[in-house]
Amino acid sequence: MRKKNNYHNQVLHLAFLWVPVLIQMALIFYFSAQPAGSPALERFPTPPGIGHLGGYGLLALLLYRAFNESLFSWDFKAVGNTLLVGVLYAISDEAHQMFVPGRNPALFDVAIDTAGIILALLVIRLLITPRTNG
C-alpha cells in the first residue's frame, strides 16, 4: 500500500508542477491560432508586444518552477532548461502562425518572447537573492 501511495503522491506532485505550464502553453497556442482581426485578439486588453512579454514571462516563471520544483531557490540548470524550452516554444509558436489566416511568423516576436523569459528569470533571481544590511 505504501508503494502505491508514494506513486500517487509523485503523480500529484508532477501534475502540480507541470499542469500550469501546459495550461499557459495552451493559452499561448490559442491566441496564436486566432486569425488576424479575430474578436479574441481585438478584445485582448494589452498591446501585442506587452502580451508577448507577459505571456512568455509567465511561461518562464511556470517552467522555472517546474524544472526547479520551487521558485525560492536559484538553479542554473533550471535556468538553462527554462530558456531552452521557452525559446523553442516561442519559435514553434511563430512557425505555427504560418498556417493561421492573416498571420505571419515574426522574428521580432521571438525576440520579445525571449525578453519576457529573461525578465522573468531576472525577477526570480532578484527576489531570492538574500538582502544584506550594510
Within a domain: residue 7? no
Q: How many domains does the chain have?
A: 1
What is the pLDDT, as a whole number, of residue 45? 74
What is the pLDDT, as a whole number, of residue 37? 80
pTM, full prediction: 0.89
Which residue, among 125, 119, 6, 103, has the nearest Cα to 56 in the 3D structure?
A: 119
Lowest mean pLDDT among 1-10, 53-62, 108-117: 1-10
Within a domain: residue 10? no
Q: Is residue 131 very low, low, confident or very high in pLDDT (cuts 50, 70, 90)?
A: low
Within a domain: residue 71? yes
Within a domain: residue 3? no
Domain that holds residue 53: 18-128
User: Is the predicted pLDDT of residue 94 greater than 70, yes or no?
Assistant: yes
By the 8 A CB rule, do 106 and 118 touch? no
What is the pLDDT, as a whole number, of residue 130? 67
